[in-house]
Structure 1
Amino acid sequence: MRQHGRDVVQLCIKSRLRIVAAQLDATAGGQTPLAVVLSCIDSRVPAELVFDLGIGDVFSIRVAGNVIGSKSLGSIEYGVGVAGVKLVLFPGWDYEELCLLYWRSFLS
């Protein structure tokens, strides 16, 4: 169902206000992400939900087609070189579909 732009803005504002306090508490001490995840922009498979992680747990980079450009590469380099992450994940489309099938079977 398509929604009007202003309805989407209101939904986003309400959602953001709902999590601000929790986010501030969870990340007040700084960032200590576990991994960098370069994944597809597909809205059905956000890395934090697929891997059951929370706010501040991963540097999530989402790009159509999982293509690494100079900005994506710079973000990965920052995660590894500055933030000290020990794992860089590049889940592909087949993996994302596998995750969706897993969650569907789990929730059934």
Structure 2
Amino acid sequence: MKNTISRMALTITALALTTPAFAIERVDTPQTTCANIQNILNRDGAAILRYPSKRVANYTLYDRYVSGDRFCKRDERAEPALVPSKDRANCHVRLCKTYEPIIDFFD
């Protein structure tokens, strides 16, 4: 029994050490071109995009943006969004938004 527990602990430790840690990239959009932002999202599937607020001085906005629906939660869909970039005032990206499925009980 003790030997089995030791083997299990060793196996779990080995798996934890060999499994890559997927850190999400953080991008300051005003220093990055729109094409590069879109390339990062297409390559990684998701990234944290940070940019200054237009309404509040010295305030940074950020959110998790994605390349498509498969990077959203089950009750979310990837919706079009805009962020500022180095070369564009409005860079087209996607943001996960909660949606309510339409269920027709009378059909």
TM-score by length of 1: 0.23
The higher relative CO (CA closer than 8 Å, separation ≥ 6) is in 1
Question: Greater Rg, structure 1 or structure 2?
Answer: 2
TM-score, normalised via structure 2 length: 0.23
